[in-house]
Amino acid sequence: MGVYNAFPLPVVTYGILHRPLPGIARERYEGTIRDMHRGVEEESALFNQEQVKLFAGLSARQAQILRGTLSQFIATPIRSDNAEVQKIFQEAFEEHRAQVSEEGPYGAIVSWAGSAVTPADGPAWLKKLEGNGRRSRKVLGLEGPKGGAGVYESVFVVRGGLNLDVLEHIVRDRLGIYASAHGAHLGESAPFVVAAHNLIHSSGGDFWKSLSAAWGEAVLMFDKPAIPYDQFRSSVASLIDASLSRPGAMPATLWQRKLGLGRGGEFALRMLVPGIADVARAIEPLRRGNENLIARELFGSRASLLIKELFHPRAS
């Protein structure tokens, strides 16, 4: 585990808010985004396969070198013992490497993408949160003219900051910044905003495995009030578990922005939803704790909401 022996290995989202340039058709833009996500996922899988082969080869070579170095000190009257000695050395090297280096998987372990939608109706509190979201995105330069193209979000999940470098290598060197779907996406996109968040809590089922079956995602963004971070994180996690861990509820994950890496709300609560009509029902249980300082912060004047219809991945 290398340096992550000293602290827990973080799971990180690399999220990109973006919108197409005027005149780019929705179908074309979403097709480009799908291709970009698939390219990153496929190259991540290939990179992992290459690393497995590389490490296996290194371990075998190091075991052979050590065996040769120590051969004069090792009595091996039976030739068949050679393979067993080699195996012992190789296993020892693999165990040592696992303890001092960063283990995989490398690159993106999962990714998803969706387009922002505005519910036609809903309670006043939902409209307020969604309106706050549109205003915050306008401040970030992401909201286009009324009736123009909407906002999209692409999310890539990696394990540890090391894999942000691997993700960059995959996009820059393997896919190509200006080649493949990534190059097409750059040519079709207007301004974009990037942020990285650490996973601090998950509730319900497996979020990653549930993505392809979900209609969409509701992302509630908020900041911390004037209380210590550990107390706030613990309180929010308890509130989420008490409110959202009910039969039939879809998974939810809580994230905190990495220091200095991004703009917008510091915390993000990501909730999968089976349909746009389910967004209010998914969030409503959190509001029942509105006597709680934490719940009030989640629905305070600075809190905002992004509702997305997911189009990657999709169940086949």
Q: Which of 99-103, 207-211, 257-261, 262-266 has the highest mean pLDDT?
A: 207-211
pLDDT over 90, % of the chain: 43
pLDDT of residue 217: 97
Amino acid at 174: R
Judged by DSSP in three states, 132 sits in helix
DSSP track, 237-259: HHHHHHHH-STTPPPEEEEEEPT
pLDDT over threshold 60, residue 3: no
86 vs 173: which has the higher pLDDT: 173
Summarize pLDDT for 267-301 with one digit per residue, the tens.
999 999 999 999 998 888 888 755 566 666 677 77
Q: How far is CA 74 from CA 55, 63, 81, 87, 127, in A?
A: 26, 14, 11, 15, 76
Q: What is the DSSP letter of 4?
A: G
pLDDT of residue 267: 94
pLDDT over threshold 60, residue 98: no
The first and second tokens of residue 273, run together, are 């939803």
Q: How far is CA 39 from CA 45, 69, 108, 180, in A?
A: 10, 44, 11, 8
Q: How far apart are CA 12 and CA 248, in angstroms?
A: 27
Please give the average per-residue pLDDT across 38-56, as a whole number.
87
Summarize pLDDT for 121-172 with one digit per residue, the tens.
889 989 999 999 999 888 888 876 665 568 999 999 999 988 999 999 998 8
Judged by DSSP in three states, 192 sits in strand
pLDDT over threshold 70, residue 63: no
10-26+108-312 is classed in which CATH architecture? 2-Layer Sandwich (3.30)
Judged by DSSP in three states, 167 sits in helix
